[in-house]
């Protein structure tokens, strides 16, 4: 008898972010996905699922969008890959031009596009460019990076150094020092004096004096002379648990940091490509023209690995000169033509197929259907930003965290597979990040599947026992 695909996987492969006491449990049966189309996934048994995770937050217009597939095939029929070290090609040029035009449409800011492979490397490039630019401008005292508490910017060493999520703590001795400041997450805010009205996103019922901004003002005032840059995930801190920011924070933070003479880096790896709604970059929603804009994940529509770091022209000027002034950083697959072709077509679809209108409708549907979660006594917050829904679970209404020894979020999303939904939680936060092609019926089905799974795993009538 031939070994199964799953048994061969368990013999040869190593999956990221996967606890192996679960993976090797003989009762655990992972999905084997053999096909993806639109907002659906199909397993090896022929069962159809909603992709409520957009395949780790990468799929924009839906799986196997015919325009993106065609662009990939046409490019691949001409070229597979060439070095971008001193060479160029039309797919990179077209993509760079379109990206700059889309992020500059409201403010006419001029950017250069530096290519890389994924979100971590886009952030890594931004950090190193900022550092080298300051060195070459003679501002060597500027060596401090600020980040938000709970922020996550990737798994490379530089990206980890400006992150503050607990799961990276084991690597602390590898990292350079940075300083984290209070996150403007109203639900987790220690200063929020609201009673957290049932049925209302914490951002809409907050009672505070913007103490998070006051803390940032104090830290910038104390450290402004040595501040190199601040890095933020605008509007939504993804891996923190979809911590969503109230309107106005990013704009104020940007002004504070720029007034101190430092750079402002926006990590749009998750919240960009329309995920936060209405603009290609979430920071554009508050008219912030950051010094660095990092895109990845949805840049190719979920097809091929590609990332970019957009850098203001005035910073690029610091690198003009000879070999000593050049930015000596890059990757073998930098600006891969096939990936560039996919990314260009992905952006063209945004402009030509009314994607932002579709995202607005999708956001309204998420808002509407997700109200059912407020009926569950263990739901502490239901929040939506653009095409993202987060449901945060609590032990009780005093907002204490769930028992960390029992992964309720994982149990709920595993149960949701029985109702045709593939999703992935972040600890105690249930999440839906649907592809933009999802219809109103699809959104209703995804939300219903997740709620049914929640009530199966944590029955409302017995919630007091948790």
Residues making up the binding site: 119-120, 152, 267, 297, 330-332, 424
Q: CA angle 152-309-333, nearest 5°?
A: 100
Residues making up the binding site for pyridoxal 5'-phosphate: 119-120, 267, 331-332
Domains recognised in the chain with CATH numbers: 31-64+355-457 (3.90.1150.10), 70-353 (3.40.640.10)
Q: What would the two tokens of residue 312 be?
A: 């203001």
Residues making up the binding site for substrate: 152, 297, 330, 424
Q: What would the two tokens of residue 219 be?
A: 């830290």
CB 430 within 8 A of CB 422: no
Residue in 132, 185, 121 with CA at minimum distance from that of residue 157? 121
Tens of pLDDT, residue by residue, the chain (466 residues): 457 999 999 999 999 998 888 889 988 889 999 999 999 999 999 999 999 999 999 999 999 999 999 999 999 999 999 999 999 999 999 999 999 999 997 778 899 999 999 999 999 999 999 999 999 999 999 999 999 999 999 999 999 999 998 888 899 999 999 999 999 999 999 998 877 777 889 998 889 999 999 999 999 999 999 999 999 999 999 999 999 999 999 999 999 999 999 999 999 999 999 999 989 999 999 999 999 999 999 999 999 999 999 999 999 999 999 999 999 999 999 999 999 999 999 999 999 999 999 999 999 999 999 999 999 999 999 999 999 999 999 865 444 444 445 589 999 999 999 999 999 999 999 999 999 999 999 999 999 999 999 999 999 976 543 3
292-295 and 236-237 as β-strands: parallel, antiparallel, unpaired? unpaired
DSSP 107-156: T---EEEEEESSHHHHHHHHHHHHHHHHHHTT-TT--EEEEETT----SS
Q: What would the two tokens of residue 368 be?
A: 């509407």
């Amino acid at each position: 008898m031939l070994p199964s695909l799953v048994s061969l996987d368990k013999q040869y492969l190593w999956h990221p972010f996967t606890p192996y006491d679960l993976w090797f449990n003989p009762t655990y049966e992972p999905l084997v996905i053999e096909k993806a189309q639109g907002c659906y996934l199909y397993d090896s048994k022929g069962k159809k699922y909603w992709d409520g995770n957009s395949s780790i937050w990468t799929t924009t217009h839906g799986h196997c969008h015919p325009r993106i597939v065609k662009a990939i095939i046409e490019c691949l029929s001409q070229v597979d890959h060439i070095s971008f070290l001193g060479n160029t090609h039309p797919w990179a040029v077209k993509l760079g031009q379109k990206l700059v035009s889309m992020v500059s449409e409201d403010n006419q800011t001029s950017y250069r596009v530096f290519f890389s492979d994924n979100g971590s490397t886009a952030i890594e490039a931004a950090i190193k460019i900022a550092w080298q630019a300051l060195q070459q401008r003679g501002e060597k005292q500027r060596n401090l990076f600020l980040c938000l508490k709970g922020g996550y910017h990737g798994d490379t060493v530089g990206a980890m150094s400006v992150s503050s999520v607990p799961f990276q703590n084991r690597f602390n001795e590898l990292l350079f020092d940075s300083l984290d400041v209070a996150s403007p997450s109203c639900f987790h805010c220690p200063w929020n004096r609201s009673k957290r009205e049932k049925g209302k996103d914490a951002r809409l019922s907050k009672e505070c004096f913007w103490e998070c901004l006051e803390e940032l003002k104090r830290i910038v005032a104390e450290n402004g002379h040595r501040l190199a840059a601040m890095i933020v995930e605008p509007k939504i801190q993804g891996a923190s648990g979809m911590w969503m920011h109230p309107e106005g924070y990013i704009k104020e933070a940007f002004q504070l940091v720029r007034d101190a003479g430092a750079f402002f880096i926006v990590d749009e790896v998750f919240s960009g490509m329309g995920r936060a709604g209405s603009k290609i970059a979430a920071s554009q929603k508050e008219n912030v023209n950051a010094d660095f804009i990092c895109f990845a994940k949805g840049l190719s529509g979920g097809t091929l690995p590609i990332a970019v770091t957009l850098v203001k022209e005035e910073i690029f000027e610091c690198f003009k000169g000879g070999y000593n002034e050049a930015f000596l950083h890059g990757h073998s697959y930098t600006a891969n033509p096939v990936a560039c072709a996919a990314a260009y077509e992905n952006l063209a679809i945004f402009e030509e197929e009314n994607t932002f209108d579709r995202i607005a409708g999708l956001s309204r549907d998420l808002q509407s259907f997700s109200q059912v979660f407020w009926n569950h006594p263990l739901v502490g917050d239901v929040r939506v930003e653009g095409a993202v829904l987060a449901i945060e679970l609590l032990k009780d209404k005093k907002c204490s965290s769930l028992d960390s020894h029992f992964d309720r979020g994982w149990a709920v999303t595993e149960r949701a597979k029985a109702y045709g939904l593939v999703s992935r939680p972040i600890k105690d936060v249930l999440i839906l990040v649907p592809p933009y092609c999802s219809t109103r019926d699809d959104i209703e089905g995804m939300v219903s599947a997740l709620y049914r799974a929640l009530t199966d795993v944590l029955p409302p009538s017995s919630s007091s026992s948790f």
